[in-house]
Structure 1
């Protein structure tokens, strides 16, 4: 009886509002659909997200009395033109650097083996020659390097062949841009049709939508700008300092901003490793690490506050947990939208009607 009373009080407090029940059902249904058909519907979601980001540019052109169709064509052509040119420039450079890195793996492993062998001379009171010889013998570092250098190209080739299947290319290169164009062109009609299938009483939905609309738009646009600025600054800095694989590392650093706190820490490892293999422990390595640290400090303390003026008020633990949960469910897109999704959950919780709060107000 006591458990029944607790459950009954819970449902009376949070589900006595009819709109709250409908919203809860729609939320669960949406989650199930995304979880079940997420990979199939990914092109549609990609098109919707791109249309959402490009629609303000269309509105801006229309404010200068540009006809709607002409504004859509202009924004559409500009965006995908820049995207195609950028990919044609970036992909060959990245492939070239990955090939160089794969070819350098045996040399890096040899350097690592020499560094291990020198440890007993540097720290005789901590390590013995016999122990280090056992480590080297058990690891077989040279053979590992040779195996990796022969194995990684075939893995890269297999991955490229798999990802570049005819159907995948057609979907993302042809279907997604077409959907973006037609969503931008007919967005008002599509929005009216979408609203017609929603419940007539949607005060709670409207409240959540108004709260989230500006935040999500600012977040996505801010993240794209942050990736470009941090990646470009890292590339220029590493090129000036002469660090190998500057393009590859700058891409990793740029995308690391998608995962707050974790990304910057993880990317430090390849930056440190490549600098160490290139120069050893010396002034050049320290300059690279100091420059990388300075970029991260400026990103966290200058760039992020400027781009995200309406900062998402989430605890760091909540951000990390949301990245782990949504990234585990939806992969890259889950990581990218982890903070907006966490903010959405928080907005739903804050807006959720509660009998206890209603009674206290009365």
Structure 2
């Protein structure tokens, strides 16, 4: 069989349906627009995410007989209050802790040098003096680069402050109109779609529950994990509890990898503060318990509609979409992977001759009836 015959057979099998061709073109146009115009559309896409999150709150209030306009007003007020709390409380707090941590780097380096020297004296076969000095010099070089990067970013970000101010004005306005005029906007989008859209409708209904469940559940998971981590670390007296809590909260965005990566700063800060002691063991033990409760208790409670993806698929999705769109790519990696899986499962395909033969063997009565 020639390559041309194989190719034409594949085209016939997967693109014999007119709707499948139209849907493939729409998907291609959507991803191309995201790839080339994602930066320009960032305020709109951000507003879509927040509106989608708040729509669940509006729906819940409507189920309890709250008028829609009042539901939209309450949900939007909650969004504005949360945004103001982030801007005027959380962000300054995190920045101050980052500055304080940077100032403590020299003392941490001196403590690390003392430990390395003691390790060399007690176990010279494990590390030589030259290796210890090289480690300290490499650490100093990395810290200088981080400091230079922070200064560069601070200076270069001054012109972008205007863009951030524009975003802070545009995004809430877009969120308000998306919530208030949801029916008009969805009706306009539907009117532009082809009349024959059974495939799109089937995929949307399959994905709507999973995407809504994932996004809202993941946002709630981040807040719960961050709050519990902050309370635990503050109770144990660990420095930079707020900064570490934010890191641990956002680590749930990347399954399997995030928890392992965030373990490093948690362990290092606890080690430099408490040394090798029982307090260090308490901090690491509490962190392990939080991760275990998150994976085995919180996630099953929040995500009623399980995302049935293999771990390899999840990691590949995080790497691919994170490489394309950064933070938002990581956040939406699992929903996008689930969307692709739903599309592949629902995609109309013509039966291959071998499949037709197998179907005839399995259902001979249908063949006799047709005759």
* TM-score computed with the length of structure 2 as normaliser: 0.90
CA distance in 2, matches of 1:23, 1:269: 45
CA contact (8 A) 2:238 2:270 kept: yes
Alignment of 1:17-36 (within 5 A): 17-36=17-36
Aligned: 1:260 with 2:255: yes
Aligned counterpart, 1:199: 194
SS at match of 1:39: coil
**Partner residue of 1:317 out of 312, 317, 327:** 312
**Partner residue of 1:231 out of 214, 226, 229:** 226
CA distance in 1, matches of 2:4, 2:240: 63
CA contact (8 A) 2:117 2:132 kept: no
Query: CA 1:32 to 1:97, structure 2 compared with 1: closer, same or farther past 3 Å?
Result: same
Deviations 1:171-201 (A, max 9, x none): x211111111111111101111100111110
How far off is 1:149 after superposition? 8.1
CA distance in 2, matches of 1:281, 1:59: 51
CA distance in 2, matches of 1:142, 1:332: 27
Query: CA 1:35 to 1:149, structure 2 compared with 1: closer, same or farther past 3 Å?
Result: closer
Query: CA 1:124 to 1:142, structure 2 compared with 1: closer, same or farther past 3 Å?
Result: closer
Q: Which moved more, 1:214-223 or 1:46-55?
A: 46-55
Aligned counterpart, 2:8: 8
Query: CA 1:296 to 1:7, structure 2 compared with 1: closer, same or farther past 3 Å?
Result: same
Q: RMSD of aligned C-alpha atoms?
A: 2.2
Aligned: 1:169 with 2:169: no
How far off is 1:7 after superposition? 0.6
Aligned residues between the structures: 357
CA distance in 2, matches of 1:273, 1:126: 21
How far off is 1:155 after superposition? 4.0
Aligned: 1:351 with 2:340: no
Aligned counterpart, 1:116: 116
**Partner residue of 2:129 out of 128, 132, 144:** 132
Query: CA 1:186 to 1:151, structure 2 compared with 1: closer, same or farther past 3 Å?
Result: same
How far off is 1:241 after superposition? 1.0
Aligned counterpart, 2:58: 58
SS at match of 1:267: helix
Aligned counterpart, 1:330: 325
Query: CA 1:304 to 1:143, structure 2 compared with 1: closer, same or farther past 3 Å?
Result: closer
Aligned: 1:243 with 2:233: no
CA distance in 2, matches of 1:192, 1:117: 70
**Partner residue of 2:148 out of 134, 147, 151:** 151
Deviations 1:197-247 (A, max 9, x none): 111100100010000000000101110111011111111111111111111
Aligned: 1:102 with 2:98: no
CA distance in 2, matches of 1:155, 1:314: 41
Aligned: 1:294 with 2:319: no
Uncovered stretches (5+) of structure 1, i.e. residues with no partner: none
CA distance in 2, matches of 1:356, 1:273: 58
CA distance in 2, matches of 1:53, 1:137: 49
How far off is 1:140 after superposition? 2.7
CA distance in 2, matches of 1:279, 1:329: 40
Deviations 1:50-105 (A, max 9, x none): 11222233234344554433332222112211331243221221111111100001
CA contact (8 A) 1:211 1:347 kept: yes
CA contact (8 A) 2:17 2:348 kept: yes
